Structure 1
Amino acid sequence: MPPGWPGYYKDSLNCEWVIEAKPGHSIKITFDRFQTEVNYDTLEVRDGPASSSPLIGEYHGTQAPQFLLSTGNSLRLLFTTDSSRASVGFLIRYESVTLESDSCLDPGIPVNGRRHGSSFGIRSTVTFSCDPGYTLSDDEPLVCERSHQWNRALPSCDALCGGYIHGKSGTVLSPGFPDFYPNSLNCTWTIEVSHGKGVQMMFHTFHLESSHDYLLVTEDGSFSEPVARLTGSVLPHSIKAGLFGNFTAQLRFISDFSISYEGFNITFSEYDLEPCDDPGVPAFSRRIGFRFGVGDALTFSCFPGYRLEGATKLTCLGGGRRVWSAPLPRCVGCQPLALLLRLEGRLLSAVKLRGWRTVEHNKFKHIY
């Protein structure tokens, strides 16, 4: 326990503990209580007695594992604090444990995670996964080796700063959630859902420093005119982003250099977007494509003797607009009269109109 327990610990601490057991034994430490200033007051645990021993983990806020095990007979703990905002600290129990001849000790379970596999015998493997919104620091399985030690340290489940999320539903958390988020962040998440769908976001927790830390939501990749700009501690209503046919929404979180809070917990799900109306088919043209959902495209081409004026491709846009990306094109005849006959090597109009003139060229008569 740090100086001052069970009250708040002091500022500017640099406390070191080295725990040793008999040779052939390991050390197990159990966290009964853990609460420090997030990002700034940190407990460092190393697998050995020295500052150069392998790092097991660095812990702050409330995100400490249930217990940790050494691979040898010693552990080194270092607790450092900054010059402001103390908390209650931690209460850690330690004990010397011996390894069974045919198994490894329980490796534990990551905070905000789950373990898969309950056999700890030699050559057994266990894997881990995280709760929604968290990312596993190392997805390689743990293997119990002949030395009765696991081949790697217990992974952690972290709420990261930004990322790419693809799926029909999911969770976005502020970095470090449920602890206070760090200062000076610039995080961007991209959410992609199924073709023809939009993204609906629901807010379960929301607390940012008002007017200084904010969350932007956009649907076209541009944050200059976002769908929403959120700050403060009022829980926002649900937000729908209708995605311009690319089925992605973006969130950007900005925090300044001071004062942080719990941040946000957002879940999203996809929803059906309204399709566009049938734009029709221009005269003297053919259309490829028969679907009018958001993101669907139609292409147009003209019959021989006509040229296309306008866009050759139209895409149905979303966002509740239900409009096509461009007006319907039209096909304009290359000649004033569409019906042409080939007679004696000459192109002649089917009828002759007063005031038109003709030009002889290479045995063809062009009428215009």
Structure 2
Amino acid sequence: MLGGGVASGSSAPSAPEFPCGGQHRGESGFIASEGFPRHYPPGRNCTWTITVPEGQVATLSFRVFDLEPDPRCRFDSLSVFGGHGPGAPLLGRFCGTFRPGALRAAGNRLLLRMESDAATAGRGFLAWFSAGLPPAHGPPHGRRRSGVNNKPHFFGESWHYFDEHQFCGGRLEKPQGSLKTPNWPEENYPAGISCSWHIVAPPEKVVELRFGKFDVEPDAHCRYDYVAVFEGGETDDARRVGKFCGEETPGPIVSSGRELLVQFVSDLSVTADGFSATYTMRSRDAAPEPGPDALNPKAKGGGKGKAPPSPKTVTAAATVVPVTATPCPQRCRRAGTLQSNFCGSDFVLTGTVKSVSRGPPQERGWAVVSILGLYKSGGLGVPQPAKGATLRLQLPCRLCPVLKKGSSYILMGQVGADGGAVLPPDAFVVPYRQQQQQVLGNLSKRPCRGNP
């Protein structure tokens, strides 16, 4: 097998080298971005081909995914095709930090193409490819591993503890149905999987989603295992309804349009019972149905012994209504580079988002960040030393720029008439990587044109 993949049954090296592109042949193996788990290089175009034995279908499931986020994947992206030729169908184009669901080709070939621009980079991707039976025969039955990695929440050095035959997700178009985590209800869900259910209702109808038993590894920011729900059929942060983990059952969710995307992701360590949920498709003006007793979290042997909180219906429309008081651009986009935007911005800092409040359409939103580094203050009056200080930034547009709670960014914005920090829709905002600290430090020492 070429290109750094690990063939099934071979001894796994502790530090395999992953080049830019390559050919992978065999029943299964790993494939990863160039240099993984280090950050992938900028300005690259890499192509990998996968060929499994004739008569079987090629399947790809992602274990790690971290590319520069953008709602339309304009900067860095990974495209997956169901074949090697020029007419091969596009199975998906991905970026950001949400792991795509499992992808299956119609035949025995897959092609991956990753493109990166000259700016921000991430850790890239790690994926497992395998050969399976054609859909008519159903997926092969894998055996579940009870142990994973004793080192939680980061990519381990053992390469063979994944269950490569766990399939879940799919497109759901029946008037009503259910979704659940793999192994439900007999065992915990597996580690290192990603499932995506795309629920599509007929025109003029909406989707109502209700969770039953819910037990997903808890974390204050749901960074490890989580369920995310989106309006539409794509994992677009601007259209995310909610992100859930822990033992508290989310309230009912009603879409504003005819589509909902439900994504479940588990990391490589702790697992839990998982969840079950049901959906129904109903008219827009129909009242939500009362939740059946069968969805009570105590239904499976008492669960964790907690009664469900009184659910409140979450209306997805509240997350996607466009701004009316302050117009937003048709697309969220930024122009130029880190260097070209430095002098044109009133302030430049790096910080971690502590909270984001977008507010109703008629009001401006706010973001509170904890400052990591200040490279240009613009008269904001930030206390010194700036590291650890919090700053409140005004967001005139509800959708742009995209900010995620718990993530760190380079933030270049303007100072408003009231002396406050403002991030306009076209502000230069990119995920922060530690290696950019030196570049920002050097830029802060150079005088900008027109300045003494």
Relative to total residues, which structure has the larger strand share, 1 or 2?
1
Judge same fold: TM > 0.5, yes or no. no
TM-score by length of 2: 0.26
> Normalised by the size of structure 1, how large is the TM-score?
0.32
The structure whose residues are more often helix, as a share, is 2
